[in-house]
Amino acid sequence: MAKRAGGRWLLRLDDLDVPRQVPGMADDIMRTLESFGLLWDGTVARQSLHQQEYQRAFSALQQKGVVYPCCCSRKDIAISASAPHGEDGSIPYSGRCRGQNIISESVIRSWRVRVPEEDICFSDLRTGKLCQSLPAVSGDFILRRGDGEFAYQLAVVVDDYLAGVNQVVRGEDLLDSTPRQIYLQRLLGYPHPDYCHLPLVTGPDGSKLSKRDNLLSCQQGSVTGRERILLLAALGFLGQNPPPDLAACSCRAILEWGASHFTPLRLPAHNGALTL
């Protein structure tokens, strides 16, 4: 979609969560992309190098008076929650610490942003117009943890702005996060990218296929020799109907065909299995 629009395709490594990083995995991801001919434009961005930019955005939101400290633990939130859990299993924050005077001796576990009562709406290139009530789905969500680490929602909004991203194409599992990110974009005065959330590949039991379930990795040798088959299967899964004669072509030719013909109008409405 980026190439068909004459744009650039960017690669960013979301490496904020240091304890969960697997040594060598970032290099394996990049080598695997290269084996498919998926060559990114420009330099690789790394979230770990953007701490100053996250701090500037966080400070700007503090100056607007929309950020407050929270002393609630996960257990506190679970006990006090009266609203049903979100689709991702998360519990909307009740706003327990909103408006409270946090004394200096209190343990600040996070910093949260106040969310508005009105719905946040946007138009997805696949699913059309979507609206979400932030109080019902997330409540006042976390921007920074008590240990000083910035949260995903703030980091990705700043990252997209720094890179000049005008179109975000990602999985349907991140659909619930988009209204939160649009809200932060509004607060920070950032432009809103277009969004397209793709259907998910599911496993035998119908649940989302995890990276742990049949991982494609150059390092593990599960890709070599299968690149063309997998690219064509992915295009088919996404409803793009690649012609049979592409099976004899190189990865580069397959991707060039995709860049010339890809359209979100053909994307399937539902998740499903990847047929090889």
Nearest 10 degrees: CA dihedral of 121, 163, 266, 172?
A: -60
| Residue 138 covered by a domain | yes
Please report, for the domain that includes residue 177, its CATH number. 3.40.50.620
Which domain does 122 fall in, by range?
Answer: 50-198
Tell me: the pLDDT tens digits for 235-245?
Answer: 999 999 999 99
pLDDT at 221: 60
| Residue 69 covered by a domain | yes
| Residue 9 covered by a domain | no
Q: How many domains does the chain have?
A: 1
Does the pLDDT value for residue 85 go beyond 60? no
The per-residue pLDDT of the chain, averaged, comes to: 89
Q: What are phi and psi of 104, to 5 degrees?
A: -65, -25
Query: Is the pTM higher than 0.85?
Result: yes
Q: Which residues pair with 195 in a beta bridge?
A: 124, 168
| Residue 71 covered by a domain | yes
| Residue 14 covered by a domain | no
| Residue 167 covered by a domain | yes
Q: Is 99 exposed, middle or buried (0-12, 13-18, 19+ CB in 10 A)?
A: exposed
Tell me: the pLDDT tens digits for 49-66?
Answer: 999 999 999 999 999 999
Q: Which residues pair with 120 in a beta bridge?
A: 132
Looking at residues 32-38, what average pLDDT do you find?
A: 93
| Residue 89 covered by a domain | yes
Looking at residues 226-233, what average pLDDT do you find?
A: 92
Residue with tokens 């996250």: 54
Cα 126 from Cα 199, distance rounded (Å): 9
179: enclosing H helix or E strand: helix 178-188
| Residue 17 covered by a domain | no
